[in-house]
Amino acid sequence: MDASGIGHPDPYNPRDAIFAAARLLHDNGGARHLRRAIFAYNHAVWYVDAVLWRARQIAAGKLPQTSAKGYALPLDPQYLGQLGRTDDGVDIETAPDGAAVYSMTGGIVTAVASDPGGFGPNYPVIEVTSGPLIGRYIYYGHVAASLVRPGQHVLPGQPIAVMGHTGDAASLGHGHIEIGFSDAGGDPLDHHGASAWTASGEAMRALLVAVSAAHEIHNA
């Protein structure tokens, strides 16, 4: 609809697109049942969950900055002051359940993997498509829910999951995520033994430290 008054409706004009979407939601009964109205537009539960979660973040003033290049923090800065142990990947336990998890890189979602007894039933795996890590895969394990689907392109800093403590972290009772390098299906490159440490886990730790340091310098 021509909400901007330019004489014709333009789907690439934000104002026209926003008002058109609002009219569609209204016609689909959004005033009575918003979830059902969104589902009528896109018949996918993951899409409805992602839209409603994004709307709550915007309402709370927590919309993250996205970038078309470079690397991004996987969690909000206040949660990255302390990293946990290094094993298959790197554990981070400072963010609460429900916090946003962001893609560290630009890439393609190769899987939303399921490992109920390990990394959880619904964790994203991203293939890096630019920069020094091009061709590598990064998994984000133990999340409560994925906000992306296989085949989707993502930007650095784009929300891809919601913090949780699923899989074999369920008994912890607090937010827990493990980020590491894997194959396309989400299986870590290295599996730790009694000593916990792995080379690929240490490589991810070095990356997290470098990205955090670059973020601090940029915002100094």
Q: Which domain holds residue 46?
A: 14-59
Q: Which of 5, 29, 59 is the last residue of a domain?
A: 59
Residue 67 located in a structural domain: no
Q: What is the pLDDT of residue 108?
A: 97
Query: Do 51 and 138 belong together in one domain?
Result: no
Query: Do 95 and 201 belong together in one domain?
Result: yes
Query: Do 84 and 159 belong together in one domain?
Result: yes
* Count of structural domains, the chain: 2
Query: Do 55 and 85 belong together in one domain?
Result: no
Query: Do 126 and 162 belong together in one domain?
Result: yes
Q: What is the pLDDT of residue 37?
A: 95
Query: Do 210 and 152 belong together in one domain?
Result: yes
Query: Do 53 and 81 belong together in one domain?
Result: no
- The DSSP symbol for 126 reads E
Q: What is the CA radius of gyration of the chain?
A: 19
Query: Do 86 and 189 belong together in one domain?
Result: yes
Residue 27 located in a structural domain: yes
Q: What is the pLDDT of residue 220?
A: 65
Q: What is the pLDDT of residue 11?
A: 85
Residue 24 located in a structural domain: yes
Residue 9 located in a structural domain: no
Give the CATH number, domain containing residue 150: 2.70.70.10
Query: Do 46 and 110 belong together in one domain?
Result: no
Query: Do 143 and 54 belong together in one domain?
Result: no
Put residue 101 in one of left, alpha, beta given phi > 0 → left and psi -120 to 50 → alpha.
beta
**How high is the mean pLDDT in each 10-residue block of the chain (220 residues)?**
88 90 95 94 83 81 63 93 96 94 96 97 96 95 95 92 96 96 97 92 96 81
